[in-house]
């Protein structure tokens, strides 16, 4: 064990030993969701560039509470289970109200916005890992790998392999 944190002591070994200490202390103060957002912004190196389709889609960039809740819900659900009625139910609102709010705040429909969020998850995994696109598709709950690839290409004009090559870490 390289890190020990308790009420009285925090110690870690290694060149970056401060990172697990900081993580443990931060996790004691904020929610898991907030910690995940924080690591995306500050602790883990993030890619400099992303595709234009995914800009302003990160959870921490959502200023509206309903959009944050929608974003978090879409990220948790398998892609195949995402429907407007399920999202509205999960957010304790009506489909019509959800559609109006999402359209007013994002300029696109609920389904299109949810698809962008889910495909953003695909893009992040393509950039940050070497996991095959077919595995990413299965992990995120898409009905079929070919369907995910088709939607990804429609949104970005790139196949997952091309996207990884262009935006991935080298």
Query: What per-residue string of b and e applies to 86-125 under the rule 16 or more CB within 10 Å gives b?
Result: ebbebeebeeeebbebbeeebeeebeebbbbbbbbbbbbb
> Rounded CA gap, 79 and 150, in Å?
14
Question: What average pLDDT does the segment 9-15 reach?
Answer: 71
The tens digit of pLDDT for each residue in 115-148 reads 999 999 999 889 888 899 999 999 999 999 999 9
Q: Which residue did the predictor score with more confidence, 72 or 59?
A: 72
Q: Can you give the pTM of this predicted structure? A: 0.70
Q: Is the pLDDT of residue 16 over 90?
A: no
> Rounded CA gap, 62 and 124, in Å?
17
DSSP state of 22: H
In the chain the domains, ranked by start, together with CATH numbers, are 3-43 (no CATH), 52-167 (1.10.10.60)
Q: 117: Cβ–Cβ under 8 A, 6 or more apart, which residues?
A: 57, 70, 71, 74, 75
Backbone phi and psi for residue 10, each to the nearest 5 degrees, phi listed first: -140, 120
Retrieve residue 23's tokens.
């993580």
């Amino acid at each position: 064990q390289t890190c020990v944190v308790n009420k009285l002591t925090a110690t870690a070994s290694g060149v970056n030993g401060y990172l697990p200490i900081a993580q443990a202390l931060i996790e004691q103060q904020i929610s898991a969701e907030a910690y995940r957002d924080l690591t995306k912004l500050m602790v883990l190196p993030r890619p400099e560039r992303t595709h234009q389709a995914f800009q302003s889609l990160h959870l921490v960039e959502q200023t509206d509470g309903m959009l944050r809740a929608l974003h978090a819900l879409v990220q948790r659900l398998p892609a195949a289970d995402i429907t407007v009625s399920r999202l509205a139910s999960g957010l304790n609102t009506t489909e019509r109200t959800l559609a109006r709010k999402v359209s007013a705040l994002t300029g696109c429909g609920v389904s299109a916005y949810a698809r962008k969020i889910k495909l953003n998850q695909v893009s992040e995994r393509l950039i940050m890992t070497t996991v095959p696109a077919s595995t990413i598709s299965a992990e995120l709950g898409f009905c079929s790998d070919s369907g995910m690839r088709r939607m990804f290409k429609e949104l970005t004009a790139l196949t997952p392999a091309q996207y990884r090559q262009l935006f991935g870490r080298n």
